[in-house]
Chains A and B, each alone.
Chain A
Amino acid sequence: SAVISQKPSRDICQRGTSLTIQCQVDSQVTMMFWYRQQPGQSLTLIATANQGSEATYESGFVIDKFPISRPNLTFSTLTVSNMSPEDSSIYLCSVWGASTDTQYFGPGTRLTVL
């Protein structure tokens, strides 16, 4: 399995600001994903972070709102831009590939927007 860390683990932000979440893996992985999970709800895939190219976004998510970077095979960032209270959620990074045979999840970032 892969060891995944996320920073920050939680944050409280003001409306209209932006927050960047970092995801670090202890080994090279093929794919990195960003999910959102609202309280009591299931996982919603935001995008697949592609190394060296633009992320692939799911329906309902756009690059201007959720810009993603993936400069190498072990690191990715997700920015939540121009936040509103509706963005309050848990954001999860997950990885797949290379030495892993399924997706493994990071510990998550709990975001509250006031």
Chain B
Amino acid sequence: QKEVEQNSGPLSVPEGAIASLNCTYSDRGSQSFFWYRQYSGKSPELIMSIYSNGDKEDGRFTAQLNKASQYVSLLIRDSQPSDSATYLCAVMRGNQFYFGTGTSLTVIP
């Protein structure tokens, strides 16, 4: 079983819609959770971090964490073409990081 799994995608949404990206993790000892965005040809950049159950909002982005279900998600409201990228879920346990394989999102104008 992989440490971190993401819905495989690719995911396409129309401009202005809500994009929903999902991630599950296998180890209940995981402490910290992150979403990275990676544009083609660029390195990953951190967009959200979440540490406790519930929702965390930052602008158009909302991260949701449910530790009982071992599930973390990222919602992007009012999706824009500039949001088209690959989104990586990452989980931290101790001093180890585990990355998912990424979900490719395309926002169609």
The answer to whether residues A42 and B102 also contact, given A102-B46, A105-B44, A106-B43 and a CB cut-off of 8 A, is yes
B90 at the interface (CB under 8 A from A): yes
| B43 A102 Cβ-Cβ under 8 A | no
Question: What is the total number of residues of chain A having a CB less than 8 Å from a CB of chain B?
Answer: 18
- Residue among B32, B43, B100 having the largest count of chain A Cβ atoms under 10 Å: B43
Residues of B within 8 A of A104 (CB): 46
> Chain B interface mostly helix, strand, loop or mixed?
strand
Among the listed A90, A96, A102, which residue makes an inter-chain contact with B49, where contact means beta carbons less than 8 Å apart? A102
| B95 A43 Cβ-Cβ under 8 A | no
State A112–B64 Cα separation when bound (angstroms): 39
B78 at the interface (CB under 8 A from A): no
For residue B77, give the distance in angstroms from its CB to the closest CB of chain A.
23
| A103 B90 Cβ-Cβ under 8 A | yes
The closest CB in chain A to the CB of B4 belongs to: A42
B99 at the interface (CB under 8 A from A): yes
A29 at the interface (CB under 8 A from B): no
B19 at the interface (CB under 8 A from A): no
A67 at the interface (CB under 8 A from B): no
The proximity string for A residues 9-51 relative to B, scoring 1 for CB distances below 8 Å and 0 otherwise, is 0000000000000000000001101000000011100000000
A64 at the interface (CB under 8 A from B): no
For residue A17, give the distance in angstroms from its CB to the closest CB of chain B.
24
Residues of B within 8 A of A92 (CB): 43-44
B18 at the interface (CB under 8 A from A): no
| B49 A107 Cβ-Cβ under 8 A | no
Residues of B within 8 A of A43 (CB): 44, 88, 99
The proximity string for B residues 71-104 relative to A, scoring 1 for CB distances below 8 Å and 0 otherwise, is 0000000000000000010101001010111100
**A contact set with B: CB distance below 8 Å:** 1, 30-31, 33, 41-43, 90, 92, 96, 101-108
6 pairs, CB–CB < 8 Å, chain A vs chain B: A30-B95, A31-B95, A42-B101, A90-B43, A102-B92, A107-B42
Not counting A41-B101, A96-B95, A102-B46, a sample of 5 additional A-B residue pairs whose C-beta atoms are within 8 angstroms of each other reads A43-B88, A43-B99, A101-B32, A107-B42, A107-B43
